[in-house]
Amino acid sequence: MKMSKSKYCRGIQCEKILWLEQNRPDLIVKNDESRMKTGQKVGEVAKAIFGEYTDIAYDLDLTQRVEMTQKALNRGDGIITEASFLFDDNFCCVDILKNLTNGVEIYEVKSSTAIKDVYLDDVSYQYFVLSSCGLNVKRAAIVYINNEYVRGDELEIDKLFTIEDVTDIARQKQDEIKSNIDIINDFMQNHGPLSEPASQIDMHCFNPYECEFWDYCTRHLPKPNVFDVSGMWKSKKIEKYHDGKVSFEDLIGENLNPKYLEQIDFELNDRKPKINRQAIRDVLDSLKYPLYFIDYETCQYAIPEFAGTKPYQQIPFQYSLHIIREKGGPLEHREFLAEAGDENMIRTFAERMISDMPDDGSVIVYNKGFESSRNREIGEMYPDLKSEMERINSNIVDLMVPFKNRDYYMREMQGSYSIKYVLPALYPDDPELDYHNLPVVHNGGEASDAFLTLKEKTPEECCEIRKGLLEYCKLDTLAMVKLWEKFKEVTG
């Protein structure tokens, strides 16, 4: 088969991935499109890390790319990006190739902030292909994001990236690479289109990447099963699976965290809701008017866009705010959604929020750690706003706590305290509170992805996306209002 570095890495994760990609592509459940886009952007920026370069166009066919690479090498071009090589049906595209007088250097670019084992397999495969093509590979290195870098007014590429030499590891893995290529090719030759290989469920289903065929390969398992136990480490789930403890019935009496056993017990025995009314009263008694129900949406830039920020820092771009100013008062709503091109987005966000919450009432959130961390970061970036951000943080009350502590639990929560599970459990028949009924954005990941695409969209598309973002975030804070109302209802 035609091998590439990505196919090689997927093949050593699980050969069946390659078989399914080739024979059952209809079964793929995409889960990494955002990661791929981030990787592409990081790769484009990294091309300039050594200065001017010759780029091999990625949209050409394989033969043309290989020919153009050879011409660039023959001309003595010093830096070649997307350099392409083919040896005995093994193809690779080198992110950055240094062309020296006595050899070449490989630089594999990753959007991660640390080196993973799969990256070593990736660059070692490239070393194999280039060496087999007769090139003297002097160095193999991985280029990855330095997450301690703080951007100034201008982006400094040399400080953004860390370069780590992995030449010795790549050389040591050459026999392994050759062996794995043979194993993968034999596997594919021995399993034709109608000869589906058996599934082997293990940690490789999640590592280094979650398999896109997980739903298909686990279709035979009972529902619910050990993989539906909320919060349990994947390695523990795999251990129980191999011990034959697959269904919830199998897990009864196992030595597990009490919360896992409680989820299993509630599911199998359809228990009535568990409500610690005193714990919930304590939350209600801690509240003081005005009540500010607020939720943030954030996005992350691998390449920091704003001065004073780091790679992958959570950047707040939106909030929804429901307000009840006094007992029995009406429900008001405020909201903010940044303009995609606002270079002062974070400050604009903070100033609007401070303006919308001028009084020392309770700032009600769901997951205190998230919003309070963003507020501290804003205070560090803008010292003149620090006291206001500290004031807001001092008033935060977390509605998640009773659910996280299992002071309020129902079978329908499926072991989770995420508001996406809690809300439909408490209000199962209210279509206005169903995230699935939203037209554009349904969860935080989609919100982040949607905002990051705004610069690429037409005005009409931007209008639709922004409307969808506002509807989604508004539901998040309305959900908290409904939880507060439910707390009052169950405590009488």
Q: What is the pLDDT of residues 291-303, one digit of tens each?
A: 999 999 999 999 9
User: What does the block give as tokens for 302?
Assistant: 């691998």
SS3 content of the chain, % helix, strand, coil (to 5): 50, 15, 35
Residue 23's pLDDT band, with cuts at 50, 70 and 90, is very high
Q: How far is the C-alpha of 45 from the C-alpha of 55, rounded, in Å?
A: 13
Does the CA dihedral 286-290-291-296 come out positive or negative?
negative
User: What does the block give as tokens for 9?
Assistant: 């890495």
CB 294 within 8 A of CB 320: yes
What pLDDT does 33 receive? 75
Residue 475: C-alpha distances to residues 19, 325, 442 (Å): 42, 19, 10
Q: How far is the C-alpha of 411 from the C-alpha of 425, rounded, in Å?
A: 8
pLDDT cut 90: percent of the chain above it: 96
What pLDDT does 450 receive? 95
Q: What is the mean pLDDT of residues 128-145?
A: 98
Tens of pLDDT, residues 157-206: 999 999 999 999 999 999 999 999 999 999 999 999 999 999 889 999 99
Please compute, for residue 108, the number of CA atoms within 13 A of its CA located in the half-sphere on the CB side.
27
Angle at which helices 277-285 and 459-491 pack, to 10 degrees? Answer: 120
Residue 34's pLDDT band, with cuts at 50, 70 and 90, is confident
Torsions phi, psi for 358 (to 5 deg): -80, -20
Q: How far is the C-alpha of 217 from the C-alpha of 229, rounded, in Å?
A: 18
Where do the domains of the chain lie, and which CATH numbers do they carry? 5-188 (3.90.320), 221-269 (no CATH), 273-492 (3.30.420.10)
Torsions phi, psi for 70 (to 5 deg): -65, -40
What pLDDT does 35 receive? 82
Residue whose C-alpha is closest to residue 325's, from 281, 357, 372: 357
SS3 166: coil
Tens of pLDDT, residues 46-92: 999 999 999 999 889 999 999 999 999 999 999 999 999 999 999 99
Tens of pLDDT, residues 450-469: 999 999 899 999 999 999 99
Beta strands per DSSP E along 146-189: 161-165
Tens of pLDDT, residues 412-442: 999 999 999 999 999 998 999 999 999 999 9
Residue 31's pLDDT band, with cuts at 50, 70 and 90, is low
What pLDDT does 300 receive? 96
What pLDDT does 429 receive? 87
Q: How far is the C-alpha of 488 from the C-alpha of 485, rounded, in Å?
A: 5
Tens of pLDDT, residues 383-407: 999 999 999 999 999 999 999 999 9
Q: What is the mean pLDDT of residues 367-392?
A: 97
Residue whose C-alpha is closest to residue 357's, from 327, 394, 384: 394
CB neighbours of 433 closer than 8 A, spacing ≥ 6? 423, 424, 427, 475, 478, 479, 482
Measured from the Cβ of residue 207, the count of other Cβ atoms closer than 10 Å reads 15
Q: What's the predicted TM-score (pTM) here?
A: 0.93
Tens of pLDDT, residues 251-282: 999 999 999 999 999 999 999 999 999 999 99
What pLDDT does 252 receive? 95
Residue whose C-alpha is closest to residue 171's, from 130, 207, 208: 130
